[in-house]
């Protein structure tokens, strides 16, 4: 890491530690989630944007495939 700024290694360690902490919290929350609460939260998420409010083009195209195509072309 000689070409990196002096704080880079500390930043990377902090980022990895934060990532592990978030994963542990997420796993604990999922373990404590019962089926009724999961269903309720899923329904609330789906209701946030009703299907009839979405553009018709979104039903067949989300942009993800196009994004991946552009990324692949950029790697060439």
Counting as low any pLDDT under 50, the low residues of the chain are none
- Tokens 């604990």, residue? 28
pTM of the predicted model, to two decimals? 0.50
CB 71 within 8 A of CB 64: no
Q: Tell me what pLDDT residue 2 has.
A: 64
- What's the CA gap between 62 and 47, in Å, rounded? 19
Q: Tell me what pLDDT residue 38 has.
A: 94
CB 1 within 8 A of CB 9: yes
Q: Tell me what pLDDT residue 3 has.
A: 87
Q: Tell me what pLDDT residue 54 has.
A: 74
């Amino acid at each position: 890491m000689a070409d990196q700024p002096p704080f880079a290694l500390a930043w990377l360690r902090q980022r990895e530690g934060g990532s592990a902490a978030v994963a542990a919290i997420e796993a604990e929350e999922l373990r404590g989630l019962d089926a009724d609460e999961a269903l309720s939260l899923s329904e609330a998420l789906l209701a946030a944007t009703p299907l009839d409010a979405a553009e018709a083009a979104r039903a067949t195209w989300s942009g993800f495939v196009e994004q991946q195509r552009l990324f692949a072309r950029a790697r060439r």
